[in-house]
Chain A
Amino acid sequence: MTLWYEDPIKLIANWLFGLMLGWGMPVDTANFVLTLLGAAFLGVVPLLFCIFLIWYERKLLGRIQDRFGPNRVGPWGIFQPFADMLKIFIKEFITPQGADVVPYNLAPILSVASVLLIWAVVPFSMTMMGVNLNVGLSFIIGCGGLGLLAIILAGYGSNNKYALLGGMRAVAQLISYEVPMVMSLLVPVMLSGSLGVNDIVQKQTVPYIILAPVAALIFFITSVAESGRAPFDLVEAESEIVAGFNTEYSGLKFGFFFVAEFLHAFTISLLFSTLFLGGWRGPFTDQVPLLGFVYLVVKTFIVYFLVILFRGSLPRFRIDQMMDLNWKLLTPLSLVTLLITALLANPLSGMPLLQAVALFLVNLAALVVLMSWAERKMPRKRKIVAKTRPLATPNQQDQLSA
């Protein structure tokens, strides 16, 4: 008999199952209905949670920028996202003339779907997960591909050359950053010996951020780039190409792209904490499995805070700087870290402490070496045209800092 703190989802599922059998439904139909309900739950709850995420991000961004953030609509502005939602729901859908109807309308749906699909394979506690897919990581990579498709459909279907340009730039950035992301995702696979996300979490007696810090770093950076957030938000640089691929979208369709971006940011934090920080692992998860869910939420919010901090404090990359970073630093670094893990992880697997220390140190050494090598390969393209002139200030110390 599962207690409430062991697996509340299973408890509710058993109760509903009993209810439906009592109504006289055959067992297969009852199972099917339960599966549908579970899928609907897993699809709707992240979308509803996005309301909280939007508020959290706006408040945090405001505080980083030394202002309050929304604070008028409700105490601490917590009803601001509801006001936003209401506004977006009642706006008119303007379809541009000459737009290709099916790709134009399919793009926002595909954009949100590709993010929600990832939630199906993430383990929320020891027994709570959507599907215990034994190829969960390949599934996640495939979902990234679907998101790319959504951007292309949006750019093409809008019949607008700025949208097309923005869409092409976005896809160029995204497919470039997929390469180091996939290679850095292979490192937890190698360390745990399985592609399934639940297996990776269960094998993390030592969190993989210690065993593979470089892979974690690469995964974090490339995930932020994949989701199109600052500092990699060239795809929607508002002052440059209007709004990129979502120029021609208004109302709820734009709302879908907006929600997809916020949810993607949270999803990458979720994935990072699952794959590299140990997911639901923590003290006392054996006795109280629900505590695993709490640990996961805490870890995810720490990483999400970091993602928002990136957005609030870093300037935007130029496209050539972005490509330089990807191809000249991240890809060689991910290849090297793959080699290091392949060479060191298996022979030392009997001695966990030695393995952890050796992997950590060699990873850091590789990071330092490759960053200094890449520094020389990525020239700043600055030409000195004149000597700096002294400042005209009355203070003597300011003169020296000219």
Chain B
Amino acid sequence: MSGLQIAFLLIGAITLFAAVITVSSRKIMHAALWLILALGAVAAVFATLEAGFFAAIQIAIYVGAIAILIIFAVMLTRRAMEDSGPQLNSTWPAALVISAGVLTGLVILLSSWGGFETRSMALPPTGENIAALGTALVDMNGYVVPFEVASLLLIAALVGAIFVASEPKGK
């Protein structure tokens, strides 16, 4: 068992533990904080794979922006700070059915994936090629369409946020 495997097992255990506590915590603020730990552990997984760029961007975007947004949303909601209500609401059977279905689907998909046996290639000694990532994101045969669609989505969210937050005209 090499050191890297031990590190991965540890980080994976932390991620799973944090994720379970996120969904089962009674206080919503604690759930947000455990989510931050889970996201940070995913960044650590990226780091063990020597994908430094992704680890840094994961921390910068997920922890630095998305988690902060979640916390803002939690704090600006009325009385959410002291909210520690019951953990299940009346629709829990439907939620159980749907999540069990999704889990079965994922297990079936992953059991036929060959990736568990293939060894990952070592990165070249110069490290990851970020220039290739950049080129692929704007290449016609690459990922330019998802890239542009994502930016459209962000524009739509921005316009929606401005509209929701603007003062009502007239009156």
- Interface on A for B, CB 8 Å cutoff? 100, 103, 133-135, 138-139, 141-142, 144-146, 148-149, 152-153, 156, 164, 168, 171, 175, 178, 195
Contact = CB atoms under 8 A, between A and B. Distances in A.
Contacts of A156: 29, 71, 75, 81
Nearest to A147: B64
26 contacts: A134-B126, A135-B56, A138-B60, A141-B60, A142-B57, A142-B59, A142-B60, A144-B60, A144-B64, A145-B60, A145-B64, A146-B63, A146-B64, A148-B68, A149-B36, A149-B67, A152-B68, A152-B71, A153-B33, A156-B71, A168-B72, A168-B75, A171-B72, A175-B65, A195-B53, A195-B130
A141 B64 contact: yes
Contacts of A103: 33
Interface centre among A149, A168, A178 (most CB of B within 10 A): A149
Contacts, number: 65
Interface string B126-139: 11101000000000
Nearest to B74: A156
Q: Which size bracket describes the interface of B in this complex? A: 20 to 34
Contact of B57 (A138, A153, A178): A138
B68 A175 contact: yes
Interface in B35-70: 36, 52-53, 56-57, 59-60, 63-65, 67-68
Contacts of A141: 56, 60, 64
B53 to A, nearest CB: 5
Contacts of A139: 52, 56
B75 A164 contact: yes
Interface in B72-96: 72, 75, 81
Contacts of A144: 60, 64
Nearest to B51: A135
Contacts of A100: 29-30
Contacts of B63: 142, 145-146, 149
A141 B75 CA distance: 25
A135 B53 contact: yes
A103 B72 CA distance: 16
B56 A142 contact: yes
Contacts of B72: 168, 171
Would you call the interface of chain B mostly helix, strand, loop, or mixed?
A: helix
Interface of B: 29-30, 33, 36, 52-53, 56-57, 59-60, 63-65, 67-68, 71-72, 75, 81, 126-128, 130
Given A103-B33, A168-B75, 8 more contacts: A134-B52, A142-B59, A142-B63, A146-B59, A152-B71, A153-B33, A156-B29, A195-B130
B64 A142 contact: yes
Contacts of A171: 68, 72
A370 B128 CA distance: 38
Nearest to A156: B29
Contacts of B36: 149
A158 to B, nearest CB: 12
4 nearest A-B pairs in the assembled complex, by CB-CB distance: A145-B64, A138-B56, A142-B59, A142-B60
Contacts of A134: 52, 126-128, 130
Nearest to A132: B127
B52 A149 contact: no
Interface centre among A134, A142, A146, A148 (most CB of B within 10 A): A142
A133 B67 contact: no
Nearest to A159: B81
Contacts of A133: 52
